[in-house]
Structure 1
Amino acid sequence: MTDSDLESFVHKVAAEDEHAIKYRTCSWQKTAALLFSESISIAVLSFPWSYSVLGLVPGIILTFAVAGTVLYTSLVLWRFCLKHPDILDVCDIGQKLFWDSPIAYEVTGIFFILNNTFIQALDKLFWDSPIAYEVTGIFFILNNTFIQALDVLVGAELLNTLTNHATCSIVFSVITVIIRFFISLPRTLAQLSRLGIFSAVTMGLAGLFAIIFAGIQDHPAGYVAGAEPLVTVFPVKGTSYVVGMSAFLNITYTFVGQITLPSFIAEMKDPREFPKALWAVTIAELVVFTLCGALMYHSIGNQYMVAPAFGSLTPTYKKIAFSFAIPTTLYLGALYSSVSSRYIFFRIFRNSHHRHSNTLVGWATWAGIVGATWVLAFVIAEVIPFFSDMLSLVSSLFDCWFGFVFWGMAYLTLYPGALKWEGPWRTLETLFNYFLILLGLYILVAGTYAKETIADTNCRHLCKV
């Protein structure tokens, strides 16, 4: 960060002193809480299924490889945000990456919101293109909305589990959407970070209980007498490409969260401290994800594994473990709804006092935007009502861009021309970033192909039971 960049951040923080609603208030600890709450989620329980498909050794190797890649790309993203202090969200980055195009901003925004809602159910990089801003906005909204939809799915499944499937899942989905709407209403991320700590802790307990119960129960759910759980070090012979790719995408999805990082960095008091939060969360992710995946897979085996792995527990144990996941299922989608709504709200009131004041117009607009993201998430959840398929589809459609392609391009922009080939280490890093771009494009094509059978294999009913 140059002196002028630092002065710009200091000025932006000072400019909020007179505002009723202050955004740049997050310490690195609060930012870490947001990152923890985003990563320690119900998706952790997809790791046992992924390990059962890939085999224990390849599964663990892939876990560390994806974690290292996401850590590296997140640090590139952070460096890019420091170089451009005016960035508020990933859509601004999209505009800078693609010739300062306003269309790229809009497209990124749409994908961004859809992605965040799925958990709920590119200027200086490439010549400051305003079209890129619009394109990035579309992806941004889509990405976030799909995450919200995933959250709707999990909430309905949780209530079905705790009530012994007492009513239609559509009703449960509506109930959880209403609750999450109110949780999404705070307008600053600092306020949500307090709930994030509680969410991460309770989800950690849910995972811990799931591991313990999987080990102490007599048999996994669905056990057939004489067919003991089968655990393999490598993939079972005959494992199809489609299933293997789906397992890889599930692991990738759980780690990839860079789409929200520019929004988090933009609300930090001192963005230079962001790596502290990032390293803390990455280490915790590796410990939690690997232990949960390996230990539960060892206890449940291939034949009885489902995703999320709560479903492989016997009814009583499943209810106990799942109940601790309630705060996370309510909170996580709210976080993505807030980030999506923030993007739209800032666009509407870019230079208006409604943006930072407690006005009726400001709050009514905010509530309307939040509500719209949840309505869209509900619709998506009803169209794609299967947890593993939802995870894989999010990964193939959105994580390819926001997890790999964008940050390879960001690196190439940070080191333009001959700078990217300056010395052997810089040359290797440049080649690695070209690889990241190609990897992202491969995930887009191969991942989408792997999920093309969703409609054929998972036909749903109006009321899920």
Structure 2
Amino acid sequence: MTTKESDFVVGSHIAHSGKDSIKDVESKSDDKEKTGEENVFETHEGEMEFKTLKWPMAAIVMTKIQFGLGILSVPSAFASLGAVPGIIILLLMAAMTTWGSMVTYRFRHFHRSTHSVPDIAMIMGGEPARIAIFSFYILYIAFVLGAQILSISIAFNAITAHGTCTVVFTVVAMILVTIIGSFRTYRMLSWLSWIGVLAVLSSVLILTIALGVGPDRPAAAPAVGPYDKEVVATKSTTLADAMLAIVNLLFAYAASPMFVSIVPEMPNPKDFPKALYVCQASITVVYIALGVTIYYYTGQYIASPALGSANEIIKRVSYGVALVGLIAGGSNIAHSLSISVFVQAMRNSPHFKANNWVFWAVWIGCVAGVSVFSFIIASSVPFFNALLGLIGSVFSAFFCLGFPSAVWFYLFWAQEPNRSWTASFKSRSVSLWLKAVMNAGIILITLFIAAAGLYASVESIDNQFATGSVGQPFSCADTSNTSG
């Protein structure tokens, strides 16, 4: 197996010396004997069935995980960057995260036992890599869930005009996502995901229509007198503000590393690309259409989350409609993180797919544990934009961009046995060279976003505490700025 276009096995993984066609990947992975691995949710007699998620339902689950927080932060990012740079960067993030999801999907075709990112790390770097990446992954998704819990508490504050202490609302949000997130499979959550997507979309449409046809000015605009919204195609801004906006746009696609854990629950994993393309294309169109519209009507007075941009009545109505969607999004994220923890802890146990009290005790414990951890994050960092920026710079850049590109090099750029580096480099096809350059570029972008985005997020957090524009950790203060 030393010809230019042949596939070969190196250690525990399959590598390509010539091309990375998805048809080649699928043909090599359909036969269990060729991969030597069994699907992580392969069902045997007496075990629970997990592979029940058809691709249309998978698409809506992915859309709900991705959509809820992104649409609430995109308009403010456009306000910081200007509409044109904002749209260009958003499209770039959509393209790179879609590519990254396809890379991890292809990896799983070679390794059917793969469930989530930590499994990929295990195969690439052994147990130390699995432990390191798994720890980092838990922190990442816990921060994402924390942001979702924070948004739910903001919604409760807005709807009730700060009816009680914010910590109480945050606890209620944590309990809700724990209960709903403990549903056993993604399929059980899929119908709630449909409702959730419609709820968030409806709430943003209500806000958009109210801003477009209503006589009132944006909530943050001066109460009387003329005002300038400063709606521009391009905008000069500071590095810190620009990077905070960029990482918020990246966070709009922050759920993409979780998508690989959906594949094992699909009865026909080859349908995953269809679900991925439907998800990414639809949310990108919605992000641009509604993001630009809301920015046009609010300009520099856009709130973040965006639902707070209109007057008090519209704010309460918008948050009221969105609440179901925010809870559904949080529940999906809680489920995704919990199932990853559960699989890592239990996959070698006889109780892994057994419908008994041990299974349920460990499963409920996983969901409760990640929800409590995320609650602590949400209560400790009580500001929405800066929290998303912190997640985007430290975690999203690595998991959404850099890590998939490293996986691509592992899969398709490995050294061929019994061939010198010089001969191996000469054997690469033009297509593979172009993809190598692209992935190297993505890794460089990752490093820049991580460094500059972290600087911007820390500066924003420091400024907000210094000016007193946010409350203290575990504060009862109103996070929605809604008057009674």
Q: TM-score, normalised by structure 1?
A: 0.89
* Structure 1 CA distance for aligned equivalents of residues 118 and 318 of structure 2: 38
Flag the 1:16–1:382 CA change in 2: closer, same or farther, 3 A: same
SS at match of 2:351: helix
* Structure 2 CA distance for aligned equivalents of residues 23 and 161 of structure 1: 38
**1:171-182 mapped onto 2 (5 Å cutoff):** 171-182=168-179
SS at match of 1:358: coil
Paired residue for 1:251, among 233, 249, 252? 249
Aligned counterpart, 2:232: 232
CA contact (8 A) 2:402 2:446 kept: yes
* Structure 1 CA distance for aligned equivalents of residues 426 and 443 of structure 2: 15
Question: How many pairs align?
Answer: 432
AA in 2 matched with 1:264: I
AA in 1 matched with 2:313: T
Flag the 1:175–1:60 CA change in 2: closer, same or farther, 3 A: same
* Structure 2 residue 120 is matched with structure 1 residue 93: yes
* Structure 2 residue 34 is matched with structure 1 residue 6: no
* Structure 1 CA distance for aligned equivalents of residues 437 and 75 of structure 2: 33
AA in 1 matched with 2:145: Q
SS at match of 1:298: helix
SS at match of 1:186: coil
**Superimposed CA distance per residue, residues 41-94 of structure 1 (whole angstroms, 9 cap, x where no aligned partner):** 133121111111101111111111111111222212211111111101110112
CA contact (8 A) 1:81 1:87 kept: yes
- Structure 2 residue runs without a partner (length 5+): 1-24, 416-423, 466-470, 479-484
* Structure 2 residue 161 is matched with structure 1 residue 155: no
Kindly, what percent of the aligned residue pairs are identical?
27
Stretch deviating more after TM superposition (152-161 or 411-420)? 411-420
* Structure 2 CA distance for aligned equivalents of residues 368 and 440 of structure 1: 34
AA in 2 matched with 1:448: L
CA contact (8 A) 1:60 1:290 kept: yes
CA contact (8 A) 1:42 1:203 kept: no
Aligned counterpart, 1:57: 84
**1:23-422 mapped onto 2 (5 Å cutoff):** 23-97=50-124, 99-100=125-126, 102=127, 131-218=128-215, 219-224=217-222, 225-235=225-235, 237=236, 239-302=237-300, 304-415=301-412, 416-417=414-415, 418=424, 422=428
* Structure 1 CA distance for aligned equivalents of residues 271 and 354 of structure 2: 28
Stretch deviating more after TM superposition (410-419 or 63-72)? 410-419
Q: CA deviation at 1:455?
A: 4.3
Aligned counterpart, 1:108: none
AA in 2 matched with 1:424: V
SS at match of 1:457: helix
Flag the 1:15–1:265 CA change in 2: closer, same or farther, 3 A: closer
Q: CA deviation at 1:205?
A: 1.1
**Superimposed CA distance per residue, residues 175-201 of structure 1 (whole angstroms, 9 cap, x where no aligned partner):** 111121110111212212221111112
* Structure 2 residue 453 is matched with structure 1 residue 447: yes
The one of the two structures with greater contact order (alpha-carbon pairs below 8 A, sep at least 6) is: 2
Aligned CA-pair RMSD: 1.9
AA in 2 matched with 1:463: C
CA contact (8 A) 1:265 1:274 kept: yes
CA contact (8 A) 1:22 1:188 kept: no
* Structure 1 CA distance for aligned equivalents of residues 74 and 334 of structure 2: 25
SS at match of 1:229: coil
Q: TM-score, normalised by structure 2?
A: 0.85
Q: CA deviation at 1:421?
A: 6.6
Q: CA deviation at 1:350?
A: 2.0
AA in 1 matched with 2:248: N
- Structure 1 residue runs without a partner (length 5+): 103-130
AA in 2 matched with 1:37: K
- Structure number with bigger Rg: 2
* Structure 2 residue 477 is matched with structure 1 residue 464: yes
* Structure 2 CA distance for aligned equivalents of residues 424 and 258 of structure 1: 28
